[in-house]
Structure 1
Amino acid sequence: MTLSWFQIVRLGLVQMCLGAIVVLTTSTLNRLMVVELSLAAILPGALVALHYGVQLTRPHWGYASDRGGARTRFMIGGMAVLGLGAFLAALAVLLFPASFAGAMALSVLAYVMIGFGVGASGTSLLALLATATAERRRAAAATITWLMMILGIALTAGVVGAMLDPYTPALLMKIVGIVTLGATLLTILAVWGIEASVVQERQPETAPFREGLAQVWAEPRARNFTLFVFLSMTAYFMQELILEPYAGLVFSFTPGQSTQLSGAQNGGVFLGMLAVGIAATGLRIGQLRHWVIAGCLGSALSLGAISAVGPSALPGLLVPAVVSLGLFNGMFAVAAIGSMMAMAGEGRAQREGTRMGLWGAAQAIAAGFGGLTGAAAVDALRFGLPDAQAFGVVFLCEAALFVAAAIMAAKIMDRGRTPALVPGE
């Protein structure tokens, strides 16, 4: 028995909860450290990179799924650890004025927990989708679950942004507590009973972890796609830690306004994903490779626009440029994820979870590397350049990486090999 559409939507709620919690740490808490506490951008950048570094354990979670692991337990337990980590991260922000060393120690613990939580819950979810979803539904399942994740990010950023003004430490802790506890409870309700109802018509993985991972890496398509994921996701995440500080330092946005800007960006991501789904499904326009390339090139142009509006410091120009970036990011992301889900079953059998874990690890490395590099570059450039120019140079470098990713996608994503985004029944 395979997952029904209703069960796929229920699992999508887990992705929505993941996005809702993570956006608090990468957007709101990051902005508070850089702008309100006047800390160097490299500090939150290093913490976020730490949580991505911990996600190098993703192949192990995928391997456990290939061996028939208890995915429900991993998803629920991972979400609980993630929620607690996010709450401790918010508490650490409030401790910085009193004790920098104590706040840093608590922050390190919190972001390690965040990394383990995302890795355990997210990879187990993807492994369940890859192994229990009918082949004709895999790309559609990826689209549905990621749309729900972006919806969770956009709604959380928008609502939290509106509620956070006027900002107070007590209000921050109250909001973070509500979001993290609510996400954990919703995850329990969403996944309960699904895994037990799905009969896996396969033998569990028996090969040792290193052998299984080496076999997947030896597959040319899996290896090339891993390298593409790393390059494109480095570009995707370079702006993650600097966009809100950019809005605050250059455009004088308040914490609530910059959080709402992040919500607007992710609203654009949602619309981009939805547009590709409609075009590829209902209108049958283009292959996945076309949408990946278009999304990368459009993201590069949008980053150029964000860089260009900095010297003007006009908020009315920044917002549409950021929404445009989100739109093209969404186009690229859903097409790449659709390819990932479709390719998970290619090559040696019984390696779906390991492949998803490998690509998830590549994404995590790229996210940490890209975010940390962007933050460090801004810190260095601000010593010799005005804020608008310093941020602008980094945005232009990110645009160049997106162009390189588009070129790579054109070479490695074979014409006619990638399926339609949502295959017909």
Structure 2
Amino acid sequence: MGSARFFFLAFRLGLFQACLGALSVLTLGIFNRLLIEEFAVPAALTALALGSQQLVAFTRVWFGQRSDRCRWKGLRRTPFIIGGAAAFCVLTWIAGRLVLWIAAASMLDDTSAVIARGLLLAVVFLFYGLAISASSTPFAALLVDVSTDKQRPVLVSIVWSMLMVGIVVGAILLSSFLGSSCASAELTDVIDGVRRLITVAPIVIFGLVLVAITGVEPKITNSNRVGEGQSTDQEISLAVSWTILRSSPQVGYFFAVLSLFTFSLFLQEAVLEPYAGATFALDVCATTRLNAIWGIGTLLGIATTGFLFVPRLGAQRTALVGGLLSAVFVLLMVVAGGMGSEPLFRGALFLFGTAAGISTNASLTLMLGLTSPLMAGTFIGVWGLAQAYARGLATIGGGALLSFFGQFTGSQNSFSAYAGVFIVQAFGLLVAGVMLLRVDTNLFQSKVEQALSSVLASELD
């Protein structure tokens, strides 16, 4: 019975991650496609606006510390999670209205207004990024609060899988909700569909967050505050943490490799839907459903890698295999575009998602291995920052590369411009996969333990 309650709790908490997955489809999928393909907004400006949310990822550490100190009605994490969710739902609506405002300027060929409103959209997404950080970081801490050491891997696996479920289901439901606007070639019908979508989606998402979070967190009582105060006294200061981080060359090396790997893995995110629209003449709903194909493949890769590949090959070799396969299938998507074969493109996209899931699982395994019991939060926070900034730069970089190659091909919507972005992505995946082989977990652990022993000994003197 206890086990059944735990799995119910895990899937309930997973609703929060599913909501984040659905939001990513709306912002990085639908908004991105509309701005570039339908409203002819420069890809670089679009990528800057949508990718700016990742530039404030450094605040995750601050929000995590604030949630540790929060005592609102005996709750630490819940106020931040629900408050942040309310903020990012409101900001999603504001961003949607701005997208439509940009569309109005684009239809009037008012370039200066498009740029000004695009920059305003970037500011909105900066605040959106703050809201995501304010909610997602305490949410991760809540996972630790409500689970034991034995339960935690299962909890994390279920919650992470629910993120992909949110992407898949969100892609299907959001494209369905656009309704008849997908079958219409009239831009006004598309705008009406988006207007309906941005009104309903934030309300539904916030409702699901309330279902996922309300009543889950155990309240702080007077009896356990003493324990908290004792643990706080034993915390390692930020300055000492920085010294320990610098003690192992593997920290900087893995940070760089993880950044390159994440950047390359998500470089296609800002250009995938516009590529499908320009190359295969797919409408907005059809390109939105591509997220479901990619998401199902990724979910399959994440779910099976821990059983089939990591135990046999190890995390590093598995990451290399995932990187190699991802590069191959990215290039296969280019071949499909050159041939004009939509079925081949969809198949390559599914296989790319599967390979990306293999790579993601392996890199997460490495991340969890490159920690220390006394500084697990610090190290995972550092790796999380690497991923967040690399993903933000990938969103910006994908659009910037598309505009760059478009200068040589005559149009940013040409097949050659998109192919250039995918080739750069494949090269980055190959390089990152090979570099991961040089990560030495034993050397990392020994250097960190030596530094920790030195610090603790000096505090006792």
Bin the TM-score by the shorter chain. Answer: 0.7 to 0.9
Partner letter of residue 170 of structure 2? Answer: T
1:368 to 392, 398, 408: 392
* 1:133-164: CA deviation from partner (whole Å, max 9, x where unpaired): 33334333332111100100111112222332
TM-score (norm: length of structure 2): 0.81
Structure of greater Rg: 2
Q: Does residue 1:396 correspond to 2:396, yes or no?
A: no
User: C-alpha separation between the residues in 2 aligned to 1:319 and 1:108?
Assistant: 31
Partner letter of residue 55 of structure 2? Answer: G
Answer yes or no: is the 8 Å Cα contact 1:65–1:128 preserved in 2: no
User: C-alpha separation between the residues in 2 aligned to 1:292 and 1:406?
Assistant: 6
Q: Does residue 1:180 correspond to 2:202, yes or no?
A: yes
Deviation >6 Å, runs of 4+: 198-201, 415-418
1:72 to 64, 68, 78: 78
Residues 1:49 and 1:266: Cα distance change in structure 2 (over 3 Å): same
Superposed counterparts of 1:321-400, under 5 Å = 321-341=348-368, 343-344=370-371, 346-347=372-373, 349=374, 351-385=375-409, 387-400=414-427
Answer yes or no: is the 8 Å Cα contact 1:295–1:329 preserved in 2: yes
1:35 to 30, 34, 37: 37
CA RMSD of aligned residues (A): 2.9
Residues 1:215 and 1:85: Cα distance change in structure 2 (over 3 Å): farther
Matched-pair identity in %: 26
Answer yes or no: is the 8 Å Cα contact 2:45–2:118 preserved in 1: no
Partner letter of residue 346 of structure 2? Answer: V
* 1:361-406: CA deviation from partner (whole Å, max 9, x where unpaired): 2112101212211211111211222721221121111111111221
* 1:97-116: CA deviation from partner (whole Å, max 9, x where unpaired): 24536633641342122201
- Could you say which residue in structure 1 is the equivalent of 2:132? 118
Partner letter of residue 155 of structure 2? Answer: A
Answer yes or no: is the 8 Å Cα contact 2:369–2:441 preserved in 1: no
Partner letter of residue 404 of structure 1? Answer: V
The answer for unaligned runs of 5 or more in structure 1 is 419-425
Q: Does residue 1:189 correspond to 2:211, yes or no?
A: yes
Greater relative contact order, per chain length (Cα 8 Å cut-off, separation 6+): 1
Residues 1:280 and 1:61: Cα distance change in structure 2 (over 3 Å): farther
Answer yes or no: is the 8 Å Cα contact 1:60–1:354 preserved in 2: no
Q: CA deviation at 1:40?
A: 0.9
- Could you say which residue in structure 1 is the equivalent of 2:46? 44
- Could you say which residue in structure 2 is the equivalent of 1:93? 99
TM-score (norm: length of structure 1): 0.87
User: C-alpha separation between the residues in 1 aligned to 2:251 and 2:315?
Assistant: 16
User: C-alpha separation between the residues in 1 aligned to 2:326 and 2:260?
Assistant: 14
User: C-alpha separation between the residues in 1 aligned to 2:164 and 2:70?
Assistant: 29
Q: CA deviation at 1:208?
A: 8.7
User: C-alpha separation between the residues in 1 aligned to 2:197 and 2:401?
Assistant: 32
Answer yes or no: is the 8 Å Cα contact 2:25–2:288 preserved in 1: no
Partner letter of residue 392 of structure 2? Answer: G
1:128 to 107, 123, 142: 142
Partner letter of residue 41 of structure 2? Answer: L
Larger displacement relative to structure 2 (133-142 or 117-126): 133-142
Answer yes or no: is the 8 Å Cα contact 1:147–1:273 preserved in 2: yes
Residues 1:25 and 1:209: Cα distance change in structure 2 (over 3 Å): farther
Q: Does residue 1:214 correspond to 2:242, yes or no?
A: yes
User: C-alpha separation between the residues in 2 aligned to 1:336 and 1:269?
Assistant: 14
1:16 to 15, 18, 38: 18
User: C-alpha separation between the residues in 2 aligned to 1:131 and 1:353?
Assistant: 13
User: C-alpha separation between the residues in 2 aligned to 1:342 and 1:196?
Assistant: 29
- Could you say which residue in structure 1 is the equivalent of 2:270? 241
Q: CA deviation at 1:223?
A: 4.2
Q: CA deviation at 1:17?
A: 1.0
Q: Does residue 1:408 correspond to 2:435, yes or no?
A: yes
User: C-alpha separation between the residues in 2 aligned to 1:416 and 1:16?
Assistant: 37
Partner letter of residue 356 of structure 2? Answer: N
Larger displacement relative to structure 2 (148-157 or 272-281): 272-281
User: C-alpha separation between the residues in 2 aligned to 1:337 and 1:132?
Assistant: 21
User: C-alpha separation between the residues in 2 aligned to 1:308 and 1:294?
Assistant: 21
User: C-alpha separation between the residues in 2 aligned to 1:415 and 1:39?
Assistant: 49
Answer yes or no: is the 8 Å Cα contact 1:89–1:106 preserved in 2: no
Question: How many residues are matched?
Answer: 412
Answer yes or no: is the 8 Å Cα contact 1:62–1:354 preserved in 2: no
User: C-alpha separation between the residues in 2 aligned to 1:230 and 1:51?
Assistant: 17
Partner letter of residue 85 of structure 1? Answer: L
Local SS of the residue matching 1:238: coil
- Could you say which residue in structure 1 is the equivalent of 2:178? 164
Q: Does residue 1:232 correspond to 2:265, yes or no?
A: no
Answer yes or no: is the 8 Å Cα contact 1:158–1:260 preserved in 2: yes
Larger proportion of helix = 2
Local SS of the residue matching 2:217: helix
Partner letter of residue 56 of structure 2? Answer: V
* 1:239-265: CA deviation from partner (whole Å, max 9, x where unpaired): 110011111112111111110112211
* 1:314-345: CA deviation from partner (whole Å, max 9, x where unpaired): 2122111111111111111123234434555x
User: C-alpha separation between the residues in 2 aligned to 1:128 and 1:280?
Assistant: 30
Q: CA deviation at 1:358?
A: 2.3
Residues 1:417 and 1:129: Cα distance change in structure 2 (over 3 Å): farther
User: C-alpha separation between the residues in 1 aligned to 2:281 and 2:156?
Assistant: 38
The answer for unaligned runs of 5 or more in structure 2 is 106-112, 182-189, 446-461
Local SS of the residue matching 2:428: helix
- Could you say which residue in structure 2 is the equivalent of 1:81? 87
Q: Does residue 1:267 correspond to 2:267, yes or no?
A: no
Q: CA deviation at 1:27?
A: 0.7
